[in-house]
Amino acid sequence: MPSSAPENNGPATLAVGGETIELAVDRPALGRTMLDVSSLGQHGLAVYDPGYADTAAYQSGITFVDGEAGRLYFRGYPVEQLATSHSFLEVAYLLMYGELPSPQQADDFVAKVRDPGLVLHVGIERLFDTFPQSMHPMAMLSIATEALNAYADDDASLSPVARVERAGIRLLSSVPVFAGYAHSVLRGVPRGRSNRSLDYVEDFLQLCFSVPGHEQLPDEATARALNTLLVLHADHELNCSTATLRMVASSGASFYASASAAINALWGPLHGGANQEVIRMLQEIKDSGKPLSAIVDKAKDKNDPFRLMGFGHRVYKTTDARARVIRQVALDLVEKLAPADPLLEIAMKLEEVALADDYFISRRLYPNVDFYSGIIYRAIGFPDAMFTPLFVLGRSAGWVAHCMEMATGPNRIGRPTQFYTGPTERTVPSRPGV
């Protein structure tokens, strides 16, 4: 199937089976040149692209990942600049509305998200009473988010984008409470209470670590580190969970249903669940006493499904922009909170061994955002199972922004085609006596 590369801004031509097809060439503001293949169906053709690695299904103006340079931009701003200078809610505002808020806009937005009137309905609180201690908190978050459909007020007279905005603000308000409650279920202790007079991150931390009757406020360094992590996780283009969110929303399902589906997609170990798996892997390395080269060899073995968790990325072909910031936060925070944690040293040595190995070099596999984030969460005092819920806390901002963007533009239901490999038509064998 020979094809000619696009020249200038003219169409690309595709020669298939004696036919020449012209494909429009589009140039996004940033990123790869796009061939518009939406007319291929008229020619009896389709594009086969496992994992959608080279397929753009939506236009979006929120986030851009430059995988070659290892850079990440939110609405044009480099994420590392935002991570240390802005609060998570200011960045959520940027993602949702396209510009950084003025001080007044920031105050108004915080007041909306922190509105005591958005406290959870008792019906959702009771859900947490029914969850067993053994349940994964990502399942709790997904269920509680879905349950907002039943308890949150909606107003069909609002515009589609205003409805998503309203639901999104409620999600941003509720997710830290869900995560705090999930942490209580895991620990088998009574639920704490959200204190809306505190900052977003501080309240979440006190909700997780206070004991009944004694509110335990986090120290400044911990709250600052968690704020940085939430900013770094706030959005990341059309990753697996955000693509899932958009797919579900494209059918007209509610924002909460779409966000609940996104939470489930994020849970997987190849995606957000990797942060939990990294710690498991580092712990196993420590417990087994095996040399790091043995772990790296196992990850390289094509007959072994094991992969080096926290390494590799679909888009980044150099160090993940976020990983650079997180690595430094980990070094600083672990030194302060858990200087005796042996896992940080193992992680640093493993990184060194892998980065010097031809297998990882030739495939351009570098540490991703999850390689060091678990070490930080662990130093703060979270159990492994809480790491991916912490990812949800940050990523919820991006999910709101993506659904708001969808609600302002044209929508076409997401429906990928398939490469059919089953039997061709055949006749059902006759059954005796029928």
Q: Site for ligand ACO (CB under 6 A): which residue of 368, 379, 394, 396?
A: 368
Three-class DSSP labels, 71-114: EEEECCEEHHHHHHHCCHHHHHHHHHHCCCCCHHHHHHHHHHHC
Most distant CA pair in the chain, distance:
81
Three-state DSSP at 416 gives: coil
CB-CB neighbours of 378 under 10 Å: 24
- Would you count residue 141 as binding ligand ACO (CB under 6 A)? no
Burial class of residue 327 (count of CB atoms within 10 Å of its CB; 0-12, 13-18, 19+): buried
Q: Among 136, 233, 370, 402, which one carries the catalytic annotation?
A: 370
Of all residues in the shown chain, the one whose CB is closest to ligand ACO is 312
CB of 156 to ligand ACO, least distance (A): 35
For 100, 172, 258, 271, 389, the CA distances from 83, given in Å and listed in that order, are 13, 18, 27, 21, 19
Closer Cβ to ligand ACO, 178 or 311, answer by number: 311
The reply to whether 49 belongs to the active site is no
CB of 433 to ligand ACO, least distance (A): 51
- Would you count residue 370 as binding ligand ACO (CB under 6 A)? yes
Report the first-to-last Cα separation within the chain, whole angstroms: 49
- Would you count residue 270 as binding ligand ACO (CB under 6 A)? yes
Distance from C-alpha of 306 to C-alpha of 160, rounded to nearest angstrom: 44
Distance from C-alpha of 246 to C-alpha of 243, rounded to nearest angstrom: 5
- Would you count residue 295 as binding ligand ACO (CB under 6 A)? no
- Would you count residue 311 as binding ligand ACO (CB under 6 A)? yes
- Would you count residue 367 as binding ligand ACO (CB under 6 A)? no
- Would you count residue 263 as binding ligand ACO (CB under 6 A)? no
Q: Site for ligand ACO (CB under 6 A): which residue of 75, 313, 327, 402?
A: 313
Q: Among 183, 233, 236, 313, which one carries the catalytic annotation?
A: 313
Closer Cβ to ligand ACO, 120 or 392, answer by number: 392
CB-CB neighbours of 28 under 10 Å: 13
Q: Site for ligand ACO (CB under 6 A): which residue of 224, 271, 298, 324?
A: 271
- Would you count residue 396 as binding ligand ACO (CB under 6 A)? no
- Would you count residue 369 as binding ligand ACO (CB under 6 A)? yes
Q: How many residues does the chain have?
A: 434
- Would you count residue 23 as binding ligand ACO (CB under 6 A)? no
In the shown chain, the binding pattern of residues 155 to 194 toward ligand ACO, with x for contact by CB under 6 A and - for none, equals: ----------------------------------------
* Structure-token pair, residue 8: 């200038």
Closer Cβ to ligand ACO, 51 or 432, answer by number: 51
Sign, Cα dihedral of 122, 253, 419, 15: negative
The reply to whether 313 belongs to the active site is yes
Closer Cβ to ligand ACO, 90 or 370, answer by number: 370
Contact residues toward ligand ACO (CB under 6 A) are: 51, 239, 270-272, 274, 299, 307-314, 363, 365, 368-370
